[in-house]
Amino acid sequence: MKKITILGASGSIGGSTLDVLRLHPDRYSVFAVTAFQNVEKLERICLEFAPEYAVMVDHTAAANLKARLQQAGSSTSVLAGVDDLMSVSQHDDVDIVMASIVGAAGLKPTLAAVKAGKKVLLANKESLVMSGKLFMDAVKASGSELLPTDSEHNAIFQSLPDNFSSIAAAGVRKLLLTGSGGPFLSTPLEGLAKVTPEQACLHPNWSMGKKISVDSATMMNKGLEYIEACWLFNAKPSEIEVVVHPQSIVHSMVQYLDGSVIAQMGQPDMRTPIAHCLGWPERIGSGVASLDFLNMKNLTFAAPDFERFPCLGLAMEAFAAGGSYSTALNAANEVAVDKFLNGELPFNKIGVLVADIMNDWSLGEPDCIDDVITADQVARQKAESLAVSLCKAL
Ligand code: NAD
Ligand code: MG
């Protein structure tokens, strides 16, 4: 029986993880679940899965949850605050950590799990984008098993040979990172100033949290994933190509030197990569139906349009620039997406805000995680004040 901590259990990935765990009560038990402040959701999860701990970042929400669980006769202990996200990630009794907090808030708890040598299922791409080399160094030092849960990276992982050590040794020519292009793939460019958060969050194929849905609409998600792939597979920028594939059936591919291409295909449903990571190296059921090839739409592939999706190009530039550019890019994007979701920034200014932060960035390579967090905070403050002037200029 493996014990699992689910960071971000109240979210979209958290829910899909619980769906898979529900199918395998003989293999996995839930050790801890965490959420920012959604009391009702965490209460339901605690009553069904009876974890040892539930952590709420928000202290008032934690007090509420505690009262409700006590009344229901639950044995789950409720903890509160950011530090306890780390306690339940690195706890001696935990075997597996699902890292599915959204955004920079996932960095410290995900890294705590890595440093404690856990099997870590990485959905929280922002933590790796922010801290790149330091994160991968920590994986090596602790011997943690880092399994890519993001569907594209999971597809690449599945399409690479077992015991993959490097792109060159595996005879790989390129990693082909697919992306749907999101809901605005063919919206007239001049219409992008007016799109609403509801439209941006209506992804054609995937059902996801709001932040990643907006990232998919700007293709910043693919940019973050490009950086994620460079770190996970130790690939050079010239070894990764982004391919727009609107049907989201081919989740990514590996092109080999001999001309072979190995792809992983499946329904656009995160339960598949989650089950793959949970069971790895075995295969376990996910509850996802098989593809029906006889009734499938045409599969199409195209080059990305960098004018429509400037965020994709910005992310590529941030990785190439090194230093703490990727940290700044991620922080500026989080601020911009938040402002867009709150109706304070037009959709087409997300890329403008990120570009402005990048153009004015001067902090160097982080030596430690505290440096990463400082870079993140500096970029956020700059982005906050820039957003105000961008909005005034409208
Ligand atoms: P979501 O918004 O649905 O859920 C986010 C979770 O993080 C919630 O449990 C929330 O309570 C928690 N959270 C939010 N802010 C927090 C904070 N400050 N401190 C601690 N916890 C906090 O997001 P999601 O769609 O499940 O995405 C989670 C992560 O997985 C993201 O990094 C995303 O990029 C990645 N991912 C998601 C999908 C998907 O299909 N949803 C696919 C691939 C990767
Ligand atoms: Mg993805």
Model confidence at 203, pLDDT cuts 50, 70, 90, reads: confident
In the reported structure, the alpha carbon of residue 295 is separated from the centroid of ligand 1 by a whole-number distance in angstroms of 33
Question: Atom 32 (ligand 1): residue with closest C-alpha?
Answer: 124
Give the sign of the dihedral formed by CA 358, CA 362, CA 367, CA 371: negative
**Number of the ligand 1 atom closest to the C-alpha atom of 10:** 9
Q: Which residues contact 324 (CB under 8 A, 6 or more apart)?
A: 361, 363, 364, 365, 366, 371, 372, 375
Judge if the upstream peptide bond of residue 281 is cis by omega within 30 degrees of 0: yes
- Report residue 392's pLDDT band, with 50, 70 and 90 as the boundaries: confident
> Rounded to the nearest whole angstrom, what is the distance from the C-alpha of residue 373 to the centroid of ligand 2?
24
Query: Which of the ligands is closest to the CA of residue 13?
Result: 1
Counting ligand 1 atoms within 8 A of each CB, the residue from 18, 33, 101 with the most, and so the one to mutate, is: 101
CA 39 – ligand 2 centroid, Å: 28
Superfamily of domain 2-148: NAD(P)-binding Rossmann-like Domain (3.40.50.720)
What digits encode the pLDDT tens for the residues 302-360? 999 999 999 999 999 999 999 999 999 999 999 999 999 999 999 999 999 999 999 99
Smallest-distance ligand from the CA of 226: 2
Confidence of residue 207 (pLDDT cuts 50, 70, 90): confident
The yes-or-no verdict on residue 367 having pLDDT over 80 is yes
Distance 151 CA to ligand 2 centre (A): 5
pLDDT in tens, 36-91: 999 999 999 999 999 999 999 999 999 999 999 999 999 999 999 999 999 999 99
For ligand 2, the distance from its centroid to the CA atom of residue 77, given in whole angstroms, is 33
Q: Examine the pLDDT at 389 and tell me if it is beyond 90.
A: no
CA 121 to chain centre: 10
Instruction: Give 8 Cα–ligand 1 centroid separation in angstroms.
Output: 6
Nearest CA to ligand 1 atom 7: 101
pLDDT for position 204: 85
pLDDT tier, 199 (very low <50, low <70, confident <90, very high otherwise): very high
Confidence of residue 297 (pLDDT cuts 50, 70, 90): confident
Cβ-based burial of 82 (10 A; exposed 0-12, middle 13-18, buried ≥19): exposed
Q: Which CATH number fits domain 157-280+289-393: 3.20.10.10, 1.10.1740.10, 3.50.50.60, 1.10.150.120?
A: 1.10.1740.10
The pTM for the full model equals 0.98
- Please name the residue whose Cα sits nearest to atom 39 of ligand 1: 208
Smallest Cα–Cα separation from 83: which of 91, 93, 92?
91
Residues 263, 8: Cα–Cα separation, whole Å: 29
Ligand nearest to the CA of 155: 2
Ligand closest to Cα of 83 equals 1
Residue 393 C-alpha to ligand 2 middle, in angstroms?
34
Q: Which of 6, 38, 102, 201 to mutate to test the pocket of ligand 1 (most atoms within 8 A of CB)?
A: 102
d(C-alpha 78, C-alpha 47), whole Å: 13
pLDDT at 232: 98
Residues in contact with ligand 1 (CB, 6 Å cut-off): 8-14, 35-36, 38, 57, 100-102, 105, 123-126, 150, 206, 208-209, 211-212, 270
Our mutation pick for probing the ligand 1 site, out of 17, 100, 377, counting the most ligand atoms within 8 A of Cβ, is 100
What is the pLDDT confidence band of residue 278, given thresholds at 50, 70 and 90? very high
What does the pLDDT look like over 114-148, one tens digit per residue?
999 999 999 999 999 999 999 999 999 999 999 99
Tell me the longest C-alpha to C-alpha distance in the chain. 64
pLDDT at residue 206, rounded to an integer: 82
Per-domain residue ranges for the chain? 2-148, 157-280+289-393
Among residues of the chain, what percentage have pLDDT more than 90?
96
Distance CA 264, CA 288 (A): 15
What distance in angstroms lies between residue 9's CA and the mean position of ligand 1's atoms?
Answer: 9
Is it the case that residue 234 has pLDDT exceeding 90?
yes
What tokens were used for 72?
A: 């229901």
Protein residue with its CA nearest to atom 2 in ligand 1: 209
Q: What phi, psi does 42 have (nearest 5°)?
A: -70, -35
- CA–centroid distance, 63 to ligand 1, in Å, is 22
3-state secondary structure of 56: strand
pLDDT at 394 over 80: no
Ligand with minimal distance to 156 CA: 2
In the predicted model, is pLDDT for residue 103 greater than 90?
A: yes
Q: Is the pLDDT of residue 14 over 80?
A: yes
